[in-house]
């Protein structure tokens, strides 16, 4: 007994000693690489100090503008970097400029981008790479839980860094949309019972296109072929269901489907003016923010498709020829800090965090993966052909 106890103690001791030795060794290694990375980052911070970052970002949302005004103050205070929000109406304006600059020193240091714009910029070599390995806070991204390494089928590969999460949802009148989730058929019934109050932004506006993708997913019970490149056979099998559905739905839509809102913003305005019973959004918390600021009626609720909300990320990227890439990295690093991400979610904007430490099931919806990007163009073209003229 005694021996055994002793021997256990001994083994324990040996184990402990060897463990601590190995931890010390491992820590040494980590400390070394951390030191190296830390020194590099210190260098980045030093170079960044006193520089300006021209950030091309959509300027249509008061909440986002306010958030960036706050970030500007914080970044100036903490890092001595000047963040300037260049308000654009469309991310395409930044892409057009980068295309025009064609390799010359850029007027853009940082841009807010995703989807086809990112794909274009990456493929044409307009972006700075290795962002993931050179920005410390990237480490805290929730890449295991969130779909934030691939952007609409295009792998990010360090050319952009996720900033926030988009989840397709409806902001709707509770009396009309009584259940938290709905199927395509539920929606048809709702539209029939409440004619002229349901609609969606005119595709190829991306909320409108996503609405169609959600319908297609629901009508085909999430057919596996939607998540790989669209083949001719798959199209012929799956798309007719969507068209048959839309043929039935359109007569009950706002303006009988003879006009559509041009954007989600316009649809939200129509919802505010009580012309519609629903609006569309990519921010799962917009409904609650709009309610607290009295922009929409108190009876507004959030609704989503029963398959889960199509989920994607919106991201930050640095042009390859930005004159101040270090300062832009400092801004990105700040945007990925707990402070900034918490404020983004809890403040006026309500955009979900991308950090592991801040994941919160209440702030987000059950997610559904994006269908393969080839489907989007096919759906948009066919929609235009059938309903757009």
Partner 1 sequence: MATTLRRLSRVLGWWLIICIASLPVWGILFGLWPDEDTSIADLSRLLAYQGLGLSLWQSMLSALFSSLLSLYLAFLIYSQYQSHSKVGGRWLEKYLSPLLSLPHLAIALGLVFLFSESGVFFVNGDIGLPRKGLSTFIMAIIIKEVPFFLLILIAVGRQLPLHGWLLQGRALGYDTSTSWWLLVFPNILKHMRLALLAASAYTLSVVDMNLLVGPNIPELFAVSVYRWQGSFSEGDQALGFWANLLLLVLLGVSIIFLYCHEKLVIKVLQHWAVLGRRIRLGFVDTLGRVWLPASGLLILLMVLVFTLWSLGFNWHSDTFSLRNLNTQLWQDEWLFVALPLQNALLIGVSAAILGILFTLLALELQRQKGRYLPDYIWLLGILLPQLSMVLGWQVSHIWLEGGYHSGWVVFAHLPFTFGYAYLVLKGPFQSIDANYELIAASFGYSPWQRWWKIRFRLLLPAILSAFAIAFAVSIAQYIPTLMIGAGRVTTITTEAVAIGTGSQQDVAALYILLQSLLPLAAFIMAALLSSRIAGPKHSTLGISRC
- Positions in the binding site for partner 1 (CB under 8 A): 54, 56, 58-62, 65, 69, 84, 86-90, 92-93, 95-97, 99-101, 104-105, 107-108, 116-117, 119-120, 202, 204, 255, 257-260, 262-266, 268-270, 272-275, 294-295, 297-298, 377, 384-389
Alpha-carbon gap, residue 93 to 86, rounded angstroms: 11
Given the complex with partner 1, which of 171 and 226 has the nearer CB atom?
Answer: 171
Given the complex with partner 1, which of 146 and 318 has the nearer CB atom?
Answer: 318
Q: How far is the CB of 140 from partner 1 (least distance, A)?
A: 30
Alpha-carbon gap, residue 345 to 293, rounded angstroms: 15
Q: How far is the CB of 152 from partner 1 (least distance, A)?
A: 10
Alpha-carbon gap, residue 69 to 63, rounded angstroms: 10
Given the complex with partner 1, which of 236 and 385 has the nearer CB atom?
Answer: 385
Given the complex with partner 1, which of 39 and 175 has the nearer CB atom?
Answer: 175
Given the complex with partner 1, which of 359 and 382 has the nearer CB atom?
Answer: 382
Alpha-carbon gap, residue 55 to 156, rounded angstroms: 20
Which string of DSSP letters, residue by residue, matches 11-50? Answer: HHHHHHHHHHHHHHHHHHHHHHHHHHHHHHHHHHHHHHTT
Q: How far is the CB of 331 from partner 1 (least distance, A)?
A: 15
CB atoms within 10 A of CB 369: 15
Alpha-carbon gap, residue 267 to 198, rounded angstroms: 10
- Residue 355: φ, ψ to 5°: -95, 145
Residue pair 165/364 in contact (Cβ under 8 Å)? The answer is yes
């Amino acid at each position: 007994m005694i021996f055994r106890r002793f021997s256990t103690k001994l083994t324990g001791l040996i184990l402990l000693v060897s463990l601590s030795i190995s931890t010390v060794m491992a820590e040494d290694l980590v400390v070394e690489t951390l030191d190296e990375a830390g020194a590099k980052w210190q260098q980045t911070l030093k170079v960044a100090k006193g520089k300006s970052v021209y950030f091309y970002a959509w300027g249509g949302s008061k909440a986002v503008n306010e958030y960036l005004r706050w970030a500007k103050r914080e970044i100036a205070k903490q890092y001595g970097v000047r963040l300037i929000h260049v308000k654009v109406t469309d991310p395409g304006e930044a892409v057009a400029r980068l295309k025009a600059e064609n390799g010359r020193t850029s007027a853009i240091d940082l841009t807010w981008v995703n989807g086809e714009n990112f794909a274009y910029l990456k493929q044409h070599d307009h972006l700075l790479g290795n962002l993931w390995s050179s920005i410390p806070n990237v480490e805290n991204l929730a890449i295991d839980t969130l779909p934030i390494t691939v952007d609409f089928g295009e792998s990010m590969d360090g050319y952009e860094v996720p900033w926030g999460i988009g989840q397709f949802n409806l902001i709707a009148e509770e009396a009309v949309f009584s259940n938290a989730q709905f199927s395509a058929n539920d929606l048809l019934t709702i539209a029939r019972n409440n004619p002229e109050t349901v609609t969606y932004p005119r595709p190829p506006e991306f909320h409108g296109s996503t609405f169609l993708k959600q319908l297609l997913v629901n009508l085909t019970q999430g057919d596996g072929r939607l998540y790989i490149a669209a083949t001719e056979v798959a199209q012929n099998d799956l798309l007719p269901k969507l068209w048959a559905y839309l043929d039935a739905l359109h007569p009950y839509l706002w303006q009988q489907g003879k006009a559509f809102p041009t954007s989600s913003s316009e649809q939200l305005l129509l919802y505010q003016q009580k012309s519609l019973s629903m609006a569309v959004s990519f921010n799962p918390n917009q409904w609650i923010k709009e309610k607290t600021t009295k922009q929409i009626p108190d009876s507004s609720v959030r609704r989503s498709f029963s398959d889960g909300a199509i989920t994607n990320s919106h991201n930050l990227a640095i042009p390859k020829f930005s004159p101040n890439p270090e300062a832009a990295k400092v801004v990105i690093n700040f945007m990925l800090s707990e402070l900034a991400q918490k404020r983004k979610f809890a403040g006026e904007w309500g955009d979900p965090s991308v950090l592991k430490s801040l994941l919160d099931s209440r702030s987000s919806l059950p997610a559904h993966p994006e269908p393969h990007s080839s489907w989007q163009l096919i759906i948009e073209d066919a929609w235009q052909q059938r309903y757009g003229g």
